[in-house]
Amino acid sequence: MTSSDRAASPATGSPLTRIDIGEVKLATRVLEGGDGVLLFIHGSLDDHHTWLPLTRALAGTGHTMVVYDRRGHSASTDVAGQGTIHQDADDAANLIQRLGLGRPHVVGHSYGAGTAVLLAAKYPHLVSSLYLHEPPAFALLTGSPELEELAGQARAVAQQSVALLAAGRIEEGTAYFVEEMAFGAGSWTELFDDQARAVMVANADTWLDQSRDPERLAMDVATLNAFDGPVTFSVGSRTLPAFSAATAEMLRLVPRASGATIEGAGHGAPTSHPDAMAAAIRRHLDLP
């Protein structure tokens, strides 16, 4: 590994290192903390930095924590051609094996939570448990006029975001998606700082590619009924209606799963409410 593949991080005390998993190299931080292992998978437009407030809140739990940039995001590499959610799940499996993590507990946020569902379905021997915050399972919003209206609204926002990004209006398209689909009105300026906004704009092309993924709806949460580890779906008490409704549907489809509500939080709970989310993860792991 060359020196160009490493970047020291005084804030975390852990170097960002590109791990070669074969097709791509994933920029990864391993935060040593004990024999248990937590692997975090971030969502759309984001990178591993979204997890750092949460990892600080989980320090002292006896777990080593692994965060990384998904392929095509920030410091990770990518390959030409259409990307898929299956590639993201395979990447997570390859990273687990490359780092010798055994069977970690996996924490996923948004699209990263969808990736975690697919990871557990394809590689159950590599996952001990799943903690999933607001997977975008909008395909489940059927069966009633209210649910189908929410699904239609989500589709319309995605289509408008795609149109803006495809037209080269990257900041406008990114901000529109962030406010209308994910975090709510005003969040682009009120919730995120300049660095976070720059990360999202830089990753907009990867989100545009992701939006065209023919396999993007491969997240079949019902497969978790065959998974042998604990599963928790969490939702913010102030999140957007589509995420609340999707979470309720996932809990209905996976009746053995637990539910957790992060009070006062929205879709961005890992960043905005790390202490409350850390408490929920501790309960999920049955830790004091």
pLDDT recorded at residue 13: 55
pLDDT recorded at residue 14: 85
List the domain boundaries for the chain.
3-140+215-284
Q: How far is CA 36 from CA 69, 92, 102, 214, in A?
A: 21, 17, 10, 36
What are the residues facing 131 on neighbouring strands?
A: 107, 232
pLDDT recorded at residue 9: 40
pLDDT recorded at residue 264: 95
CATH class (in words) of the domain with range 3-140+215-284: alpha beta
Task: Say how far apart CA 61 and CA 79 lie, in whole Å.
Answer: 37
pLDDT (tens digit, 9 = 90+) per residue, 216-236? 887 899 999 999 999 999 999
Low-confidence ranges of the chain (pLDDT < 50): 1-12
pLDDT recorded at residue 263: 97
- CB neighbours of 282 closer than 8 A, spacing ≥ 6? 58, 61, 288
pLDDT (tens digit, 9 = 90+) per residue, 20-51? 999 999 999 999 999 999 999 999 999 999 99
C-alpha triplet 59, 38, 10: angle, nearest 5°: 50
